[in-house]
Chain A
C-alpha cells in the first residue's frame, strides 16, 4: 500500500514458492516472537517496569523477520532506536532484550545502554543509533572493512522514512555507490516522521525509492508487510552486495500500529487509517500464507504458544534480575576499561 492507502507496484512479486517451508516457519516464528515481545514491553511500561522511552515497531515485524532470515550469521545489522525487532531477528534472546529495556543486570548492556542502544556484537547487531541518520555512514564503514579485508559479510542498515531527509543519508548513499560497498540500506517507510506525515516533509512520493536514482541505484519499493516479498528482496540485495556488485536501497512500505514512542497516543492519525492497515497486519497476512501452503493449524498454534511461553519466561527472568550494578557507572569509558582522563 502506498501512503494514500492504495496498492503500489512492487518490484519483487510473491508468486512461485522458492522460499521453502522451513524458512517460512522461521519467518512466522520470528514475526510472532517480535510481536509478543514488543506487546510485553508495552505491558511492562504500563506497570512502570520499563522507564525512559521506548519505540515499538508493532506492525513492522515482516521487515525485521525477513532480513533476519535472509542474513548470514556474519552479516552485520545497524538499526535505530526502533531496534527491538531487528535485535530479536538476529537471534538475541528475549531476556537480554527485555532485560535491557528494564535496565536490569541481565540486559544486553547490563542496563548501560537502554532501549535505544541495543547492541550484540556476538550476533552481528552492531548497535542501535539514536541520532537520526548517523548509522548510515557507519554501516558504510563496516562494509568498507569487509571489502578491504576481503571478508564476505554484508552490512544491512535499517532506518525510517524521516531519515531520508538527513544529510548523512545522502552522504552515505553517494559514498557507498562510488565505492561499490557491500551494504544494503533499508528504509522502513511507516508513513510518519515522529508525528508528522512523511508526505508533508518530502516533495516526492517515495522518500527512499525516488531518490535512489540520484546515486545510480535501482528504485526498489516493496510491500513491507509481506514477509515473503521482503525476504526475496533482501536475499537478492544481500547476494548482490556479497558478489561485489555494490549497494542497494530498499524502501519497504509499512505502518506502525502504535505511536512513535511510549509518550505518543498517535492522535494525529486520520480516522480509519489504522484500521485499514490492521487488515494488512503482517502476522495476519503470513498466517494465511502458511495455511495456503498447507501448514497445519496445530503447527501454527504451537509456534504461537511457544512464543508466549518464551515471553513469560523471559519476563520472569528480567523481573528477578537485579538492577544495573553500581560499579558499571565508571567502566568502559576508555579502552583500558576505566574512565581516567588524567593522571
Chain B
C-alpha cells in the first residue's frame, strides 16, 4: 500500500497496462517528452519510448480518428484530449464514429480504445477549459463513460478501460490531480459499472461523481455532526455502464435521494438517475428527489463566482439539511 497522487495513479494505471500488452499505445498533444500539460503522463515516454508514446500535432480529429483506425485493426490506443472541452472539436468521432462502428457493421468491427481527458472545473480556467462534460458522451449508445474520484479507482478503472472491448471516455478531474490516496500494491484491475458506497447512512442517499465525491463525503460528515442526518454517499465511478442496483438498493434503505453534479443542470446525469428511481423505486421514496447542480450557465473564471457556481460542501449541506428537515 502506498500513498499516490491522482496524477501518479493515471501514470501507474497506464504503465501497468503498457507493461502487460504491447498493443497499448498512446497518442496526444505534448504527452511524450513533455509529460502532458497536467503532468499525467510523466515518465511514460522514457519508459516505453517514442514508438509507444507519441506526440501529435494540434489535430484533435486526427488524434481520435487515428486512435479509432488503429483500434479497429488491432491496437489498444489511449488517446489524450488535453482539456475535455476540446472534445467538441472532434465530437464526430465520439458521437458518430466510435460508438456506431460495431452496430452498423453488425459486429464486424469494434473500437477498443480509451480517450483520456482533463475534465471539470474549480481551477479558474474560465468557460472553455473548465467544463464537466461527462454527460455529453453519456447520451450516446455504444460508449462507456468513466469518471473516478480517487487514486486507487484511477488505477483500477484505467486498467479496466484499456482492457475493455468498447470505446471508453475516461474523465480525469483536473482539480483532483494533486489529491492523494492509498493505492494497493501490485496489479490492480477494477470493474466498470460498479458504484461504491463510500459512507454508509440510513437517512438519505447522496449520489456523486468525480470531484463531487470528496465534497459529498465532507458534506455528509458535517450533516451527521451538525444536523444529525446520516447520509449514505455513493460514488458512481462510471455513468455507462450505470450501476443502478447499488443506487436503487441505497434508496430502498434510506428513502431519500440527492444527486450532486458538477455539470450544468439541463440534461445532467442526475436527471437520468432521478427518472430511473422515480420509475422503479417510487414507493421506496419518502420525499422528492433533489438535484444539486451547477446552474445552467457557462463557468465564470473569477474564483468567488466559480465557487458559487459549482456545488460546494456548504451548498450540499445547506440543501440536504433544509430538504431533510422539511
Write the residues of chain A forming the contact surface with B, with a CB cutoff of 8 angstroms.
76, 78, 108-110, 112-114, 117, 119-121, 126-127, 129, 131, 134-146, 148-149, 155, 167-168, 171-172, 174-175, 178-179, 328, 331-337, 339-343
Closest-by-CB residue of B relative to A118 is B105
A141 and B72 within 8 A (CB): yes
Q: Cβ of A126: which chain B residues have Cβ within 8 Å of it?
A: 69, 72-73, 109
CA distance A262 to B4 in the complex (A): 60
CA distance A168 to B69 in the complex (A): 14
B109 and A334 within 8 A (CB): no
Q: Closest Cβ of chain B: how far from A172's Cβ, in Å?
A: 6
Determine if B112 is an interface residue (Cβ-Cβ < 8 Å): yes
Q: Cβ of B128: which chain A residues have Cβ within 8 Å of it?
A: none
CA distance A148 to B245 in the complex (A): 42
**Cβ < 8 Å to A, chain B residues 74-94:** 74-75, 77, 92-93
B59 and A171 within 8 A (CB): yes
Q: Closest Cβ of chain B: how far from A25's Cβ, in Å?
A: 31
| Cβ-neighbour of A112 out of B106, B109, B142 (below 8 A) | B106
Beyond the given A142-B72, A341-B241, please list 16 additional residue pairs across the A-B interface where CB-CB is below 8 A. Answer: A113-B106, A121-B105, A127-B105, A127-B109, A131-B92, A134-B97, A137-B66, A138-B72, A140-B65, A143-B69, A145-B69, A145-B74, A148-B25, A172-B65, A334-B102, A342-B240
B73 and A137 within 8 A (CB): no
| Cβ-neighbour of B97 out of A110, A138, A174, A179 (below 8 A) | A138
Q: Cβ of A117: which chain B residues have Cβ within 8 Å of it?
A: 104-105
A335 and B62 within 8 A (CB): no
**Cβ < 8 Å to A, chain B residues 142-171:** 142, 144, 164-166
B62 and A171 within 8 A (CB): yes
Q: Cβ of A134: which chain B residues have Cβ within 8 Å of it?
A: 61, 65, 92-93, 96-97
**Cβ < 8 Å to A, chain B residues 48-82:** 51, 54, 56-57, 59-75, 77
Q: Cβ of B74: which chain A residues have Cβ within 8 Å of it?
A: 145, 149
CA distance A310 to B65 in the complex (A): 37
CA distance A174 to B61 in the complex (A): 12
Contact flags (1/0) for B104-131 with A, using CB distance below 8 Å? 1111111010000000000000000000
Q: Cβ of A342: which chain B residues have Cβ within 8 Å of it?
A: 193, 240-244, 276
| A126-B73, A138-B72, A335-B164 given; A119·B241 CB < 8 A | no
- Can you list 25 A-B contacts (CB < 8 A)? A76-B73, A110-B106, A119-B104, A119-B109, A121-B108, A126-B109, A131-B96, A137-B65, A138-B65, A141-B72, A144-B70, A144-B75, A145-B73, A145-B75, A148-B51, A168-B62, A174-B62, A175-B56, A175-B62, A332-B102, A333-B102, A334-B102, A341-B241, A341-B242, A342-B193
B166 and A335 within 8 A (CB): yes
CA distance A109 to B100 in the complex (A): 13
Determine if B101 is an interface residue (Cβ-Cβ < 8 Å): yes
CA distance A119 to B100 in the complex (A): 13
CA distance A343 to B248 in the complex (A): 11
Q: Closest Cβ of chain B: how far from A95's Cβ, in Å?
A: 16
CA distance A43 to B72 in the complex (A): 35
Q: Closest Cβ of chain A: how far from B127's Cβ, in Å?
A: 23
Q: How many residues of B contact A (CB 8 A)?
A: 52
Q: Cβ of A339: which chain B residues have Cβ within 8 Å of it?
A: 141
Q: Closest Cβ of chain B: how far from A308's Cβ, in Å?
A: 30
CA distance A256 to B62 in the complex (A): 29
Q: Cβ of A178: which chain B residues have Cβ within 8 Å of it?
A: 57
Closest-by-CB residue of A relative to B75 is A145
A333 and B142 within 8 A (CB): yes
B68 and A138 within 8 A (CB): yes
B105 and A119 within 8 A (CB): yes
| A137-B69, A142-B69, A144-B70 given; A113·B241 CB < 8 A | no
Q: Closest Cβ of chain B: how far from A101's Cβ, in Å?
A: 14
CA distance A44 to B244 in the complex (A): 47
A328 and B106 within 8 A (CB): yes
B66 and A138 within 8 A (CB): yes
Q: Cβ of A108: which chain B residues have Cβ within 8 Å of it?
A: 106
CA distance A257 to B63 in the complex (A): 36
Q: Cβ of A135: which chain B residues have Cβ within 8 Å of it?
A: 65
A141 and B67 within 8 A (CB): yes
| Cβ-neighbour of A333 out of B97, B141, B244 (below 8 A) | B141
B102 and A335 within 8 A (CB): yes
Q: Closest Cβ of chain B: how far from A143's Cβ, in Å?
A: 7
Q: Cβ of B60: which chain A residues have Cβ within 8 Å of it?
A: 171
| A131-B92, A145-B69, A341-B241 given; A168·B97 CB < 8 A | no
Q: Cβ of B101: which chain A residues have Cβ within 8 Å of it?
A: 127
**Cβ < 8 Å to A, chain B residues 171-192:** none
B73 and A142 within 8 A (CB): yes
Q: Cβ of A167: which chain B residues have Cβ within 8 Å of it?
A: 61
Q: Cβ of B166: which chain A residues have Cβ within 8 Å of it?
A: 334-335
